[in-house]
Amino acid sequence: MTAPVEHCVKVSLAERSYDILIRSGLRGEVGRCLRGLGFSGKVAVVTSPAIRRLYAPAVIRSLRQAGYETRSILIPDGERAKTLRWVSAILDELATARFERGSVLVALGGGVVGDVTGFAAAIFARGIPCVQVPTTLVAQVDSSVGGKTAVNHALGKNLIGAFHQPRLVLIDPETLNTLPTTEWIAGLAEVIKYGMIADEEFFAYLERHMVALRKREDGPVAHVVTRSCQIKAAVVREDERESDQRRILNYGHTVGHALESLGKYRTLLHGEAVAIGMVQEADFARYLGLCPNEVTARQHALVREAGLPDTLPRVRFSELWGAMQHDKKVAHGHLYCVLPERVGRVVIRPLEPSTFKRWFASRGDKQERRPGSRHVASRPKA
């Protein structure tokens, strides 16, 4: 039997630099990898019930074999865990177990576990190391990399948070095999986003391999995870704190976040909202004369091929615009939008309300059900 191929992507941020290791079976080597970084303190594995059943035993065994004193901390599955209350619960456990500066938090799970654990690590004892072990496609290609950590506030998603880079990201693509189909497909939206914002060749690869990706074939999955991490690492290296170019990672998110919030985070998965956002924002770019028809059509075809929704739910302009104003992308009263010029290249532009309203009206009735109802009508069969 040949050893599985390992890919290593470096996130170069001076003293905050770290590696992203990608290899099947890596979940059983977390302990060895932590030793490799020289960590000697206690380790807490933060996870949620679904992941604990599937993957915590291998991770905890590896930590104990490497000689670590280990405990696990459980938070609920899904977005409802992204609250200060659950951060506080983690901090209580750490304080009670006398964790200190040299102790380590391991985030084992999807983007929710990663964001909550990362934030707890950012504030406990003014910052302790965090190692991300992401288990969803969204987390492996996006949330585990780049150091954004956060929980939600009643008035806004991810409103309370900190930049806290992980010390290591360990990606085991095998864990993706147990992901529910809708979660898998939602993750493909973030992958398509990387092709649109930065790499036409990668986009063309996705066009050629979407059938294999829908079937989660090992080779294409490892390739898209690795290439996505490379693109994200390059963007974060240039603009860690999102003062400028990192904003391109928000392509599809201006409309997407607004739809998520209008649906109270229950009607669309994050990736589904981003897919609709990318299709709509590209159509807006076409309306402005920034983006040729062939480009919007090509993106639209790939989004549909992935099985993602593409159509704006039925919503009034005032509702959509109002929800967009709560976005963190509003700066000095201006809302910015990331717009494609061609596949692999986007620009950041202030969003003019009157122009956006004219585009919105020009769309006629190409809309579906209200965002409060589960959005399924335009999602092709999985």
Our finding on whether 110 is near ligand NAD (CB under 6 A) is yes
H or E segment and range at residue 199: none
**Closest CB to ligand NAD among 51 and 120?**
51
Among residues 42, 52, 157, 246, the one that binds ligand GLY under rule CB under 6 A: 246
Using Cβ positions, the residue closest to ligand GLY within the complex turns out to be 249
Whole-angstrom distance, CA of residue 195 vs CA of residue 278: 12
**Closest CB to ligand NAD among 194 and 359?**
194
**Closest CB to ligand NAD among 19 and 283?**
19
Which listed range, 104-112, 207-215, 288-296, 324-332, lies at the site for ligand NAD (CB under 6 A)?
104-112
Whole-angstrom distance, CA of residue 305 vs CA of residue 300: 9
Our finding on whether 111 is near ligand GLY (CB under 6 A) is no
Q: Are 377 and 311 in contact (CB under 8 A)?
A: yes
H or E segment and range at residue 41: none
Whole-angstrom distance, CA of residue 104 vs CA of residue 36: 14
Among residues 146, 195, 309, 344, the one that binds ligand GLY under rule CB under 6 A: 146
257 is catalytic: yes
Our finding on whether 195 is near ligand GLY (CB under 6 A) is no
126 is catalytic: yes
48 touches, from ligand NAD, ligand GLY, none (C-beta below 5 to 8 Å by class) = ligand NAD
Tokens 């291998």 belong to 58
Greatest CA span in the chain, whole angstroms? 64
313 three-state secondary structure:
strand
Which residues, in sequence order, are CB contacts of 154 under 8 Å at separation 6+? none
246 touches, from ligand GLY, ligand NAD, none (C-beta below 5 to 8 Å by class) = ligand GLY
> Tell me, what amino acid is at 315?
V
Q: For residue 14, with 0-12 CB atoms within 10 Å meaning exposed, 13-18 middle and 19 or more buried, which class applies?
A: exposed
Which residues, in sequence order, are CB contacts of 273 under 8 Å at separation 6+? 255, 256, 257, 259, 260, 263
Helices and strands: H and E segment counts in the chain: 13, 12
**Closest CB to ligand NAD among 144 and 296?**
144
Q: How far is CA 167 from CA 11, 105, 132, 161, 217, in A?
A: 10, 10, 8, 18, 29
**Closest CB to ligand GLY among 242 and 272?**
242
**Closest CB to ligand NAD among 82 and 375?**
82
Our finding on whether 143 is near ligand NAD (CB under 6 A) is yes
Token pair belonging to 338: 């990331």
Closest approach, Cβ 236 to ligand GLY, in A, equals 7
Our finding on whether 52 is near ligand NAD (CB under 6 A) is no
* 98 secondary structure, DSSP code: T
Our finding on whether 191 is near ligand GLY (CB under 6 A) is no
Q: Are 251 and 271 in contact (CB under 8 A)?
A: no
Our finding on whether 166 is near ligand NAD (CB under 6 A) is no
Q: Are 340 and 270 in contact (CB under 8 A)?
A: no
Give the helix ranges, DSSP H, for 76-110. 84-96
Token pair belonging to 334: 């201006």
Whole-angstrom distance, CA of residue 108 vs CA of residue 91: 17
| The one catalytic residue among 27, 167, 232, 379 | 232
Whole-angstrom distance, CA of residue 218 vs CA of residue 225: 11
Our finding on whether 136 is near ligand NAD (CB under 6 A) is yes
Site string for ligand GLY, 114-143 (x = CB under 6 A): ----------------------------x-
| The one catalytic residue among 98, 126, 215, 264 | 126
Which listed range, 75-83, 125-133, 280-288, 369-377, lies at the site for ligand NAD (CB under 6 A)?
75-83
Among residues 246, 257, 270, 286, the one that binds ligand NAD under rule CB under 6 A: 270
Length of the chain measured in residues? 382
Which residues are catalytic, by number?
Answer: 126, 148, 190, 232, 242, 246, 250, 253, 257, 270
Contacts with ligand GLY by CB under 6 A lie at 142, 146, 148, 242, 246, 249
Contacts with ligand NAD by CB under 6 A lie at 48, 50-51, 54, 77-79, 82, 109-113, 115, 135-136, 138-139, 142-143, 146, 148, 158, 175, 178-179, 183, 270
